Amino acid sequence: MKSHLALYMFVSVLFLIGVVFGAVMVNALSLDQKQELARHLNYFFQNVDDGTMLGEPQADSFRQTLGLHVKWMALIWLLGLSVVGLPLVFVLDFLKGVLVGFTVGYLTGQFAWKGMLFALVSVAPQNLVIIPVILIASVAATGFSLHLIKSRFQHRRGALAQSFWQYTGTSVFLTIVLSAAALYEGFLSPYVMKWVAPMLLV
């Protein structure tokens, strides 16, 4: 943490900028776009309230969610293996912030405190795990890319191999941690959302 403190601060600020940008995007939506989103959300809330989501195989939902997390982590890992791909890691951090900011901003703007409550139970819990994991993975990818640059000048293949396995091990461990978020999204989130969804039905 100490050796990469500046990187942690950088990716955290980048993520927060994405959150703010996503929230601002809500105000840029046209009336037709807001109405279309409202219709889709109302249909979603209706399915949650009817218990349709609970009728779906939760194991399938868990596998799909975990698969998405694994792909996201694999992409960050791959981008960290080359200096050229490093800027795309920062783009992913920014986009993650935009997604979170837009989701929470729209729910809050459209449904006031009820939307905030829904965001707290449907968005916040898993993201308390997902966001730190993605930021840590991004710092690890950045650190390894910088190590690649140094190794080209210092010609230390042994140190590079050790760093590669440390980087890969960190990525695998973080992916395992993401399974906790996938478990919540797959098995617990539908029940929590069912409790809140009736408040948001129009």
pLDDT tens track for 109-135:
888 888 888 888 888 889 999 999 999
Rounded CA separation 64/107 (Å):
24
Kindly report which listed range (84-93, 97-106, 115-124, 148-157) carries the lowest average pLDDT score: 148-157
pLDDT band, residue 75 (cuts 50/70/90): very high
Please give the backbone phi and psi of residue 107, each rounded to the nearest 5 degrees, phi first. -60, -40
Q: Is pLDDT above 90 for 157?
A: no
pLDDT value of residue 20? 96
CB under 8 A, 24+ apart: contacts of 106-110: 106/26, 106/37, 109/26, 109/27, 110/34, 110/37, 110/38, 110/41
Residue 24 near residue 104, CB atoms below 8 Å:
no
The rounded distance, in Å, linking the Cα atoms of 129 and 132 is: 6
Q: Is 81 helix (H, G, I), strand (E, B) or coil?
A: coil
The residue that leads in pLDDT, 130 or 196, is: 130
Position with higher pLDDT, 160 vs 79: 79
Q: In this predicted model, what pLDDT tens digit does every residue of 16-29 receive, in sequence order?
A: 999 999 999 998 88
Claim: this prediction has a pTM higher than 0.75: yes
By percentage, how much of the chain surpasses pLDDT 70? Answer: 89
